[in-house]
Structure formats: structure tokens, C-alpha cells
A = this chain, B = another copy of it.
């Protein structure tokens, strides 16, 4: 068994892609960092070690990695997308008040998924949508303390 990074690099090469500094850097950050990071989050971290890596390269790299299935992204509702490794399929609960993200296992959506397929011929895409609502804390304080949205 190898390091997760080495595994990802191997995936890259298997697809006939080159293992560049930028791609390694993006993968490192995704592997180390919190599980959900925006392109900008990633860029900020990378720029500490490799100041020359440009934001647009990060976008292109994320796009590439997503195409080969190494990572996934979710839209959190306010426009910004966050990326995460594609290894552990899960769904995202996003609080529309404080923006916190809760990950829940895919199985919770199994029966919904089945219903949608049977009744509507619709096939849920794994780990690619955010479910909006209120987290416990925000639900408790309701519209009194912080900003909605």
C-alpha cells in the first residue's frame, strides 16, 4: 500500500496525464486539508509553498481531476463550489444560515434514491448535491442572532 498521494498520481498517469507540480500540490491540499475546500481555499494554501501556481491553473487542475473521477465538487448554494476527494461518496447538508457542512453517508438517501428512480425515472447522482436547511444551532437561535443566508 502506498500513500494516498502516490495512488492519486498513479491514477493520473494511467489516464495518460502528466504529473505536474500543480497537480501534486492540489492533490496534497485536498488530501491533507479539510474535506471540503473551494478553489480559492486551495489556491491560498498552495500559494504559501508554490507562489507561482496560478488560480486559473487550480481551476483547470480541479477540472481535470474531476474528469478522471479523482475528485468531486458540490455547489453549496451561494455560487461557490467546494471540492473533495471522490473516494468516500457522501451527501452534504449545508446550513443556509451559518454555512456549515455536515456529511452524511450515502445510505441515508438509499430509499429516496429508489423512489425517485421508480416513480420518476430519475437517477440520483452520488455525492453531487447539497441539501439546504438549518443546522441544530441555527435552528435553535432562529432568526434572532446571525444573518440568514
Contacts and interface: CB of A to CB of B under 8 A. Distances in A.
A116 B77 CA distance: 19
Contact of A133 (B93, B95, B116, B136): B116
Nearest to A138: B123
Given A75-B75, A93-B116, A132 B125 contact: yes
Per CB-CB distance, the 6 closest pairs between chain A and chain B, nearest first, are A121-B136, A125-B133, A129-B132, A124-B133, A123-B134, A93-B122
Interface of A: 75, 77-79, 93, 95-96, 102, 104, 108-109, 111-112, 115-116, 119-125, 128-136, 139
Nearest to A122: B93
Contacts of A131: 116, 122, 124, 129
Nearest to A104: B120
Contacts of A136: 120-122
Contacts of A96: 125, 128
Copies of this chain in its oligomeric complex: 2
Provide the main secondary structure of the chain A interface.
mixed
A122 B75 CA distance: 18
A33 B116 CA distance: 26
A116 B108 contact: yes
B108 A122 contact: no
Nearest to A95: B122
